[in-house]
Amino acid sequence: MELTTLNKEYKLLREDCNEKFVKMTQIDPNINLVEEYWITSDHTLGNSRSYFDSYEMGIEYALDRVDYRMTLNADGQKPFVILVNGKAINTHGQLDAFLKGEFEIKAENVVESNVKRLYS
């Protein structure tokens, strides 16, 4: 996927999530949101959301997700970001840098390029 398309998709997902979160906080002001965004091996944007009654539970879950993403990202080639109530947890997931064009994924580390080389 092109970087401009990924940027648009990311912004739309964040806007949609924020709108829903605002509506949910009007019903339950104590609700907490954990968002996770990542670039998949086929260069698309993956995302997930989780809601918690307790801020501490949200932070604990977010830190577990950071550990999981860092394990998957041992080579530093799978950009991600994890947010709690719209604020990023301090990680080095590099998704923002990737979306700004400041970080590039090396083709030899992407599964699809290995498949293309194998069959070309």
Distance (Å, rounded) from C-alpha 70 to C-alpha 90?
A: 12
Please write the tens of the pLDDT for every residue from 3-51: 889 999 999 999 999 999 999 999 999 999 999 999 987 888 999 999 9
Q: Which of 29-38, 96-105, 107-116 has the highest mean pLDDT?
A: 29-38
What does residue 40 show for φ and ψ, rounded to 5 degrees? -80, 170
83-108 mean pLDDT = 84
Measured CA angle at 57 (ends 52, 63), to 5 deg: 115
Q: Model's pTM, two decimal places?
A: 0.82
33, 50, 92, 98 from 74: Cα distances, Å: 26, 24, 11, 17
Residue 120 has pLDDT above 80, yes or no: no
